[in-house]
Amino acid sequence: MTKEEFIEELETYLELEEGELKEETELESYLDSTATINIIALFDSEFDISVKASAIRECTTVENLWSLANKK
Protein backbone atom coordinates (compact mmCIF):
# COMPACT_ATOMS: atom_id res chain seq x y z
CA MET A 1 0.00 0.00 0.00
CA THR A 2 1.36 3.42 -0.90
CA LYS A 3 1.23 6.38 1.45
CA GLU A 4 -1.45 7.98 -0.73
CA GLU A 5 -3.57 4.83 -0.58
CA PHE A 6 -3.07 4.72 3.19
CA ILE A 7 -4.34 8.28 3.52
CA GLU A 8 -7.38 7.47 1.37
CA GLU A 9 -8.13 4.40 3.51
CA LEU A 10 -7.66 6.43 6.68
CA GLU A 11 -10.16 8.99 5.42
CA THR A 12 -12.61 6.18 4.70
CA TYR A 13 -12.18 4.59 8.13
CA LEU A 14 -12.58 7.99 9.82
CA GLU A 15 -15.56 8.89 7.61
CA LEU A 16 -13.87 12.04 6.29
CA GLU A 17 -14.13 13.78 2.96
CA GLU A 18 -11.65 12.74 0.27
CA GLY A 19 -8.60 14.99 0.38
CA GLU A 20 -9.22 16.17 3.94
CA LEU A 21 -6.05 14.54 5.30
CA LYS A 22 -2.48 15.24 4.25
CA GLU A 23 0.80 13.77 5.53
CA GLU A 24 1.33 16.74 7.82
CA THR A 25 -2.26 16.86 9.15
CA GLU A 26 -2.30 17.07 12.94
CA LEU A 27 -4.46 14.29 14.35
CA GLU A 28 -5.44 15.83 17.66
CA SER A 29 -8.85 17.05 16.47
CA TYR A 30 -9.61 13.72 14.75
CA LEU A 31 -8.58 11.23 17.46
CA ASP A 32 -11.46 10.41 19.72
CA SER A 33 -12.17 6.92 21.03
CA THR A 34 -14.21 5.92 17.97
CA ALA A 35 -11.51 7.12 15.58
CA THR A 36 -8.88 5.21 17.56
CA ILE A 37 -10.91 2.00 17.27
CA ASN A 38 -11.38 2.61 13.55
CA ILE A 39 -7.63 3.08 13.08
CA ILE A 40 -6.97 -0.15 14.98
CA ALA A 41 -9.39 -1.85 12.55
CA LEU A 42 -7.54 -0.29 9.58
CA PHE A 43 -4.19 -1.58 10.83
CA ASP A 44 -5.67 -5.02 11.43
CA SER A 45 -7.45 -5.38 8.09
CA GLU A 46 -5.00 -3.65 5.77
CA PHE A 47 -1.65 -4.40 7.42
CA ASP A 48 -2.49 -7.53 9.43
CA ILE A 49 -0.91 -6.03 12.53
CA SER A 50 -2.16 -5.34 16.03
CA VAL A 51 -1.53 -1.98 17.59
CA LYS A 52 -2.51 -0.64 20.96
CA ALA A 53 -4.67 2.43 21.33
CA SER A 54 -1.83 4.11 23.21
CA ALA A 55 0.48 3.73 20.20
CA ILE A 56 -2.09 5.41 17.98
CA ARG A 57 -2.64 8.24 20.45
CA GLU A 58 1.12 8.87 20.47
CA CYS A 59 0.98 9.66 16.74
CA THR A 60 0.58 13.39 16.21
CA THR A 61 0.35 13.43 12.39
CA VAL A 62 -0.84 11.25 9.55
CA GLU A 63 2.84 10.72 8.69
CA ASN A 64 3.39 9.27 12.19
CA LEU A 65 0.55 6.79 11.64
CA TRP A 66 2.06 5.80 8.29
CA SER A 67 5.40 5.21 9.98
CA LEU A 68 3.75 3.11 12.69
CA ALA A 69 2.03 0.99 10.05
CA ASN A 70 5.30 0.32 8.31
CA LYS A 71 7.32 -0.39 11.48
CA LYS A 72 5.55 -3.64 12.18
Those residues whose C-beta lies under 8 Å from the C-beta of residue 10, and which sit 6 or more positions away, are 16, 21, 39, 42, 62, 65
According to the model, what pLDDT value does residue 52 have? 96
Domain count across the chain? 1
What is the CATH number for 59?
Answer: 1.10.1200.10
Cα distance from N-terminal residue to C-terminal residue, the chain = 14
According to the model, what pLDDT value does residue 72 have? 60
Average pLDDT, the chain: 94
- 71 pLDDT band, cuts 50/70/90, is confident
CB crowding 7-32: b at 16 or more within 10 Å, else e? beebbebbeeeeeebeeebebeebbe
Domain residue limits at 25: 3-71
**What is the three-class DSSP state of 17?**
coil
- 57 pLDDT band, cuts 50/70/90, is very high
- 21 pLDDT band, cuts 50/70/90, is very high
According to the model, what pLDDT value does residue 30 have? 92
pTM of the full structure: 0.88
Those residues whose C-beta lies under 8 Å from the C-beta of residue 3, and which sit 6 or more positions away, are 23, 66
